Structure 1
Amino acid sequence: MSGTIDYGNLMHRAMRSLIQTVLTDVQKDGLPGEHHFFITFDTQHPDVEIAEWLADRYPGEMTVVMQHWYDNLTVTDEGFAVTLNFGDAPEPLYIPYNSIKTFVDPSVEFGLRFETQDEEEEDEVLDELPDEINLEEIVEEPRKDAEVVSLDSFRK
């Protein structure tokens, strides 16, 4: 076990599980009421399956809408498959949860954003940091007074 808890990774897993649960319900019962989804995903993810013409047209990311017409929704533990209509041309897609960048349901103003940063990018950022930092150059914003809240106020 490592020396720290990776809260960011745990939160992303929980958020992807939420998407899986929502899509499983939609697979079983259809979209309720005015609900619809805008799902942005990385088209370069190795497990994404989309038509070649879509990959050429959207070489980095793509946003799909699940609203009025979708077909063959199949939800798995790793991702989901769905057929969507692109200009009267139905196209099957497979979108792994790990490729999703945003999941939005505008009907209820709900959205999830997955922030990712490649290890190479992290290394580049670390390489750009100075070896020494002059503390006199660091400007701190004034601190706000902390508010002490009793835990009893959260108990029922």
Structure 2
Amino acid sequence: MPRTIDYGNLMHRAMRSLIQEVLNDVEANGLPGEHHFFITFDTNHPEVKIADWLVDRYPGEMTVVMQHWYENLHVTDEGFSVTLNFGDAPEPLYIPYDAIKTFVDPSVEFGLRFETQEDELDEIDLDDDDDEEIVSIEVEEDDRKEADVVSLDSFRK
């Protein structure tokens, strides 16, 4: 089998590394200014650790917000743990980076979305190159409140 470069995996690792770096800074220094995060993750991921009642309430995926109240943020190379407040009930969570589907900081219109191959195949019609990997990465960051979307397709020849 010929050797190939797995761009999709490389981009996902780079994006997860960015999330880790941001969370490391928040762990050390707190959230600056108006920054806050909406993090959507797969509640069925085998390494996710959340209360059973949260899994029952959010089968499949859940979005958490880190903004005004959070504590015990601890960041590792594999994921992060944090205690969040659910209706005045503090709950500890552990979210591995591999379980994250989206990471958004709406204060600066920045967002990352991790798409699986099934998601991509639902959105596109592949022609003869059925084994070609297509990765869509949305990067939104602009002070004018307009979103810039960067697609890897624009760099293909």
- Asked if Structure 1 and Structure 2 have the same fold, meaning a TM-score greater than 0.5 normalized by the shorter chain, the answer is yes
Q: Structure 2 regions of 5+ residues with no counterpart?
A: 127-157
**How much is the aligned-residue C-alpha RMSD, in angstroms?**
1.9
Looking at structure 1, the residues matched to 55 and 47 of structure 2 have their Cα atoms a distance apart, in angstroms, of 13
Q: Tell me the amino acid that sits aligned with residue 13 of structure 2.
A: R
SS in structure 1 at match of 2:117: coil
Residue 109 of structure 1 is matched in structure 2 by: 109
**Does residue 1:24 correspond to 2:6, yes or no?**
no
The amino acid of 1:77's aligned partner reads D
TM-score for the superposition, normalised by structure 1: 0.74
Partner of 1:42: 42
* C-alpha spacing 1:77/1:2, structure 2 compared with 1 (3 Å): farther
Change (3 A) 1:42 1:2: farther
TM-score by length of 2: 0.74
List per-residue Cα deviations over 1:82-106 (Å, max 9, x = no partner).
0000000000000000000000000
Structure 1: gaps spanning 5 or more residues: 127-156
Runs of 4+ in structure 1 deviating by more than 4 angstroms, as ranges, are none
- For the pair shown, the structure with the greater C-alpha radius of gyration is 1
Structure 1 or 2: more helix by fraction = 1
How many pairs were matched up? 122
Using the TM superposition, give the Cα deviation of residue 3 of structure 1 relative to its aligned residue in structure 2, in angstroms.
1.7
Aligned residue in 2 for 1:68: 68
Matched AA of 1:6: D
Aligned mates of 1:112, 1:28 — CA distance in 2: 22
Deviation at 1:2, TM superposition (A): 5.1
Matches within 5 A, 1:140-151: none
Q: CA deviation at 1:117?
A: 3.0
